[in-house]
Amino acid sequence: MQIRKTRYDHPDAVLLTAQVQQEYVERYGDPDATPVDVGHFDAPYGRFLLGYLDGAPVATGGWRAQDASPDGFEDGDAELKRMYVVPQARGKGLARRMLAELERDAAAAGRTRMVLETGLMQPEAIALYTSSGYTPVAKFGHYRDSPLSVCLGKSLLAVGPASATRARPA
């Protein structure tokens, strides 16, 4: 998979974001209502990545900087958003590669912890994150009061810098 740095409003990012939102509708009955702005993913306060196989967009993921807030974030947090792999490309390790690149990028930007919110209706996501070293953290964000919400985090202090050859500008 070729991973490219891009903007959240890039046409391929918009396409895959619509697909992940539809998956949320199928699993939870509604799309993710967490407020997200295009600028949240602009450096140095965030990053959005697209993964391509044979020229076709197949994976997305982004992080955005968060600091201590009433929403439950801590100083130095990088919040993972819009991790998604199209159904026909699943089971190939693409999500794990995207996650590792996002962790490296956030660490290189000075973020100290990656946090994410997923849900009980996404057991494969929970399995990916826990097998990648994520552990439960205090609930945060838009769904912190939802009984279906699962919040996980991982220290980025031991994560190496992002690879310039893996995540090229689009």
What are residue 143's phi and psi, to 5 degrees?
-105, 20
Per-residue pLDDT band at 151 (split at 50, 70, 90) = very high
Bond into 136 cis (ω within 30): no
Sorted by sequence, the CB contacts under 8 Å of residue 97 that are 6+ apart come out as 1, 3, 51
User: What pLDDT digit, counting tens, does each position of 84-122 carry?
Assistant: 999 999 999 999 999 999 999 999 999 999 999 999 999
The confidence score (pLDDT) of residue 5 equals: 97
Higher pLDDT, 159 or 82: 82
Q: CA 97 to CA 80: how far, in whole Å?
A: 14
2-169: CATH superfamily: Gcn5-related N-acetyltransferase (GNAT) (3.40.630.30)
The confidence score (pLDDT) of residue 158 equals: 84
Over 60: is that where the pLDDT of 42 sits? yes
The confidence score (pLDDT) of residue 148 equals: 95
User: What pLDDT digit, counting tens, does each position of 17-34 carry?
Assistant: 999 999 999 999 999 999
Q: Could you tell me whether strands 167-169 and 2-6 are parallel, antiparallel, or unpaired per DSSP bridges?
A: parallel
The confidence score (pLDDT) of residue 160 equals: 64
| Mean residue pLDDT across the chain | 93
User: What pLDDT digit, counting tens, does each position of 113-146 carry?
Assistant: 999 999 999 999 999 999 999 999 999 988 999 9
